[in-house]
Amino acid sequence: MTITIIAEKRDQAQQIATAMGWRMQKDLATGTLEGQPVALVWASGHLLEIREPQELKPDASWNNPATLLPIPRQFDLRLTRRSGRGKTPAQYYKVIRDQLRRASEVIVSTDPDREGTAIAWHLLEACRYRGPVRHAWLVDGLDRQAVRNTFVRLKGGDEMKSWFRASEARARADWSYQFAVRALTFYARGGAMGPNLGQGGGRESVVSVGRVQTPTLALVVERCREIGSFVPKDHFLINGHFAVSAQSIEARYHPPVTAEIIDAAPAGVTWEPSRRIAKEGDPEPLDTPLFTGEHEVQAFKQRLLQAGDQATVIQNKERNSQRNPPLPCDLAEFQAEMHKAFGMTAAAAQKVLEKLYNEGLVTYPRTEHAELPDSLYAPNERNPVLEHLTQISEFSRQAQMARDIHDGNHQHYPARKPACFTSKPMEHYGIIPTRKSANLSSMNREAQMAYRIVARRYIQALWPSASLREQKLAFQVPVTDLLGHAASRFTASRTEVVDPGWMQAFPRREDEQAEVSYQAIVAAQKGMLTPLKQVDTVTRTTRPPAYYTDRTLIKAMKTVGRFVKDPKLRRILRESAGIGTPATRSTILETLLARKFIVRKGSRLESTASGESLVDWLPDWMTSAETTAVWEDYLTRVCELRNDDNLACEKRDRFVYRQIDRLESWLQELQGALSDKVSAQSRTRFSGSGTPTPKMMAYARSISRQVGVPLPDNALTDRQACSTFIDTYQAQASQNRAPTPKMLALARKLAQERQLNLSDEIVSSFEACRAFIDSQLGSLQQQISSNKPRQTTRSRQAPRRQRKG
């Protein structure tokens, strides 16, 4: 009998086999583990998926919402349907099934997350494997030592099976949204949802919704509407210059605000809602004053100058503080850094990082956490990584100093465990280099930058904290202020660097703006006279919030809890790390772009009329971040039900049925509200009577060839059957389409200019080739935009003219 090991994909299996000294063959790798023969096989992502709605409910139609209910509660699987180069899912499945028949034990070595666990367990259940199972949790990376260590510390099968059940719950609940998509598409195409939805033909007219996609769209729509309705207000900032110990200290007018003052409505003051979010148990923050009355401000300035000699210090607080270095990157932070460096999309950045992971150069990339487990602080864990980093010239000095400090060999800094290490439980931790040596000269430009980001953040995290001295000063001038206080209050903060620590590891370039302005503290005592020598009134105009970019939207999805008023829900969102997962956020963004619910304009993301209309039509529970975050919180708790598969299955089913019940209720409401608004012309078109047009039949045949799915018997005689087949498979066919010769020529030109290697996927897939071109041209556009001279306010507001021709 043989130990069968299941990897997620061939690249991963190759890394495991190399690390373990096993021999790669055509369909499997062979070797020994724990004295037993091994057969290492691999999938190609998910080989099994839930059947299409019409397979489980044959009468479910795109053209009659009444046929969609009730939504099925059974979730039979089938082999995924995809075509293209390489082996088919059926071929992968046969190899794995044949090995499972011979297996005395199985070790799951897929990606260490819910979906990776599900890839293997779906296969085990479909092949009716009943033997023992263990898990190789490959969170430490795919370099030789990390893989070997993982196979020494295998987890029990029941310990991780709950992750599979959580994945099933997610997939089944997501699958049920297809019935909402069909109903919404019918009403939109029939004109019942206004002029912006259901327009165009085929895929363009599909109204797509989803548990993460729709709340993410709502974030973009809300931000764009906030910008569109924003009315700028001119106001004044009032700064005083106070003489303190022979120095001039600039302080900002900062009066206390109370509800009574706001109700009194003092002249020359406009009130803006606060953007600050109250902490749990705290009252709602008060509005913020804007000093808009020029007459009142100038009169206040004169009063201040007349009484300036009587100004005194009313507060001087000083304290020592430590500023810890940045943590290693999680996936969202890495994507943000790559966007900043290249203007790279989140999806493209994730692909670069995952390639480094598959080459064994960095640890697992799809992580929410930036901290590191305490175990990685052990000398036998950290020193091999630092050792090979010292061999890279740009990291040599910094890596050697980090090693000297933590080995106790540094004269100035004692060994002390850095703040990035924690004892809290984490399945995945911050992204760091592995022990495998990296040859930067052999990498393309994007891979080099990706590795540099990961390596720098790891080294910085091991350097000592910066030591600071902070000072908070408050001054008082005995004149009535703009809010009616008897005395006027000004405040200033100063921060002095005592020891720069990590800040000197990789000093900022001149073109990088420091986050904090460091100034020496001044000697001041409460009550001392500090004459006011000068008052400046600076005109400012309020600005709207910035449009989302790839970088900021991915971060907003992770930190969406800060937009939520309810403290309890905000805590859940914080603990469940927002909406989506590191693995899916960039995919969600690309889906919204593909559906034309949002568009890219330069680096910014803007909602379209169809995206805004969709958000307006949907119920709050479908667009709110709170709903999808509660999903993630529940799924996380299912993952924690280790060694109790019966309870995990019970929790899975309870969750799925609850989501389907709510979806069915809403679809019934939608039918009652919109069925009478579908135009008679549309009803005739949707009725299915008659035969499909020649173009429809030709398109259906083309899709059938591309996806490898035979046409239904009635697809060429029944218009409705043909339309249903096209709607079901056209997106998949688009993914399988080969790029045009012009696209390939442009991709090769861009790759040559940037010294990049084109993957087989880019060369063979229309969508992958288009995404590559978009990412490279987007990067170029970002560079061009950053080199343009700064525009004046007037020129920024002027409409752009389109060039003719």
Please report the pLDDT score of residue 797 as a whole number.
38
Name the band, by pLDDT with cuts 50, 70 and 90, for residue 157.
confident
pLDDT value for 102: 94
How many of the other CB atoms lie within 10 Å of CB of 657?
Answer: 15
Residues 530-545: pLDDT tens digits?
999 999 999 999 999 9
Angstrom CA distances, 119 to 116, 136, 472, 788, stand at: 5, 14, 56, 48
In a 3-state reduction of DSSP, which class is residue 157? helix
Q: Quote the CA–CA distance of 66 and 675 in Å, as a whole number.
A: 10
**Cβ–Cβ contacts within 10 Å for residue 642, how many?**
15
Residue 770 phi, psi (nearest 5): -65, -40
Residue 164 has pLDDT above 70, yes or no: yes
Left, alpha or beta for 126 (phi > 0: left; psi -120 to 50: alpha)? alpha
pLDDT of residue 800: 37
d(CA 732, CA 783): 34
- CATH number of 170-229+546-597+604-677: 3.90.950.10, 1.10.460.10, 3.30.930.10, 3.30.559.10? 1.10.460.10
3-state secondary structure 485-515: CCCEEEEEEEEEEEECHHHHCCCCCCCCCCC
Segment 42-71 shows an average pLDDT of: 91
Share of the chain above pLDDT 70, in %: 90
E-assigned strands of 128-268?
A: 133-135, 155-156, 234-244, 247-253
Q: How far is CA 709 from the centre of its chain?
A: 34
Residue type, 321: S
Q: pLDDT category, 804, cuts 50, 70, 90?
A: very low
- Please state the rounded mean pLDDT for residues 405-426: 92
Least confident of 54-58, 148-152, 361-365: 54-58
Q: Which of 573-577, 705-709, 793-797 has the lowest mean pLDDT?
A: 793-797
Cβ(636)–Cβ(163) below 8 Å: no
Tell me which of 236 and 274 has the higher pLDDT: 236
Cα(305)–Cα(241) distance, rounded to whole angstroms? 11
Q: What is the pLDDT of residue 652?
A: 97
- List, for residues 16-32, the tens digit of each pLDDT value: 999 999 999 999 999 99
Q: Distance between CA 48 and CA 56 in Å, rounded?
A: 15
Residue 305's contacts (CB-CB under 8 Å, 6 or more residues apart) are 532, 535
pLDDT at 648 (0 to 100): 96
Residue 595 has pLDDT above 60, yes or no: yes
Helix (H) or strand (E) holding 557: helix 550-558
Helix (H) or strand (E) holding 436: none
Ramachandran bin of 181, using left for φ above 0, alpha for ψ from -120 to 50, beta for the remaining angles: alpha
User: Average pLDDT over the chain, rounded to whole?
Assistant: 87
Pick the CATH number of 2-168 from 3.40.50.140, 2.40.30.270, 3.30.930.10, 1.10.1060.10: 3.40.50.140
Asked if pLDDT for residue 181 goes beyond 60, the answer is: yes
- For residue 117, is pLDDT > 80? yes
Contacts of 571 (CB under 8 A, 6+ apart): 280, 561
State mean pLDDT over 737-761. 79
Neighbours of 138 (CB within 10 A): 24
* pLDDT tens-digit readout, 598-615: 999 988 999 999 999 999
Nearest to 82 by CA among 93, 74, 72: 93
What are the beta bridge partners of residue 232?
none
State yes or no: pLDDT of 296 exceeds 60: yes
What CATH fold (topology level) applies to the domain 331-345+355-464? Topoisomerase I; domain 4 (1.10.290)
Say if residue 514's pLDDT is above 60. no
Identify the top-confidence range among 153-167, 574-588, 630-644.
153-167
Statement: residue 69 has pLDDT above 50: yes
Rounded to an integer, the average pLDDT of 364-389 is: 92
> What pLDDT, on the 0 to 100 scale, is given for residue 256?
96
φ, ψ for residue 183, nearest 5 deg: -65, -45
User: Residue 735: what pLDDT?
Assistant: 60
Q: Is the pLDDT of residue 685 over 80?
A: no
Q: How far apart are CA 217 and CA 632, in angstroms?
A: 18
| CATH number attached to the domain at 234-320+467-541 | 2.70.20.10
Q: Is 35 exposed, middle or buried (0-12, 13-18, 19+ CB in 10 A)?
A: exposed
Tell me the per-residue pLDDT of 647-658, one tens digit each, with 9 for 90 and over. Answer: 999 999 999 999
| Predicted pLDDT of residue 798 | 36
Copy the structure tokens of residue 55: 């397979």
The residues, ordered by sequence, that sit 6+ positions from 233 with a Cβ below 8 Å of its Cβ are 270, 272, 290, 292, 541, 542
Q: HEC states along 708-754?
A: CCCCCCCCCCCHHHHHHHHHHHHHHHHHHCCCCHHHHHHHHHHHHHC
The answer to whether residues 381 and 447 touch, using CB atoms and an 8 Å cutoff, is no
Which of 372-381, 506-515, 718-727 shows the highest mean pLDDT? 372-381
The pLDDT of residue 457: 97
- The residue ranges of every structural domain in the chain are 2-168, 170-229+546-597+604-677, 234-320+467-541, 331-345+355-464, 741-787
Tokens of 353: 């990082």
Residue 675 has pLDDT above 90, yes or no: no
Question: What pLDDT, on a 0 to 100 scale, did the predictor assign at position 639?
Answer: 93
Comparing 333-337, 533-537, 730-734, the range with the smallest average pLDDT is: 730-734
Could you give phi then psi for residue 286, rounded to 5 degrees?
-80, 160
> pLDDT band for position 705 (50/70/90)?
confident
Mean pLDDT, residues 174-186 taken together = 94
Partners of 474 in the β-ladder: 315, 491
Q: Residue 470, SS3?
A: strand
Cis, peptide link before residue 232, omega less than 30° from 0 = no
Looking at residue 611, what is its pLDDT? 96
Highest mean pLDDT among 83-92, 271-280, 344-353: 344-353
- In this prediction, residues 492-507 reach a mean pLDDT of 93
Please tell me which residue, 516 or 161, carries the higher pLDDT value: 161
DSSP string, 262-302: HHH--TTEEEE---PPPPTTSPPPPPEEEE--HHHHHHHHH
Strand partners, 249: 242
Residue from 304, 291, 255 nearest 534 by CA = 304
- For residue 393, pLDDT over 90 is answered with yes
- Give the type of residue at 788: K
Provide φ and ψ at 764, rounded to 5°: -105, -20
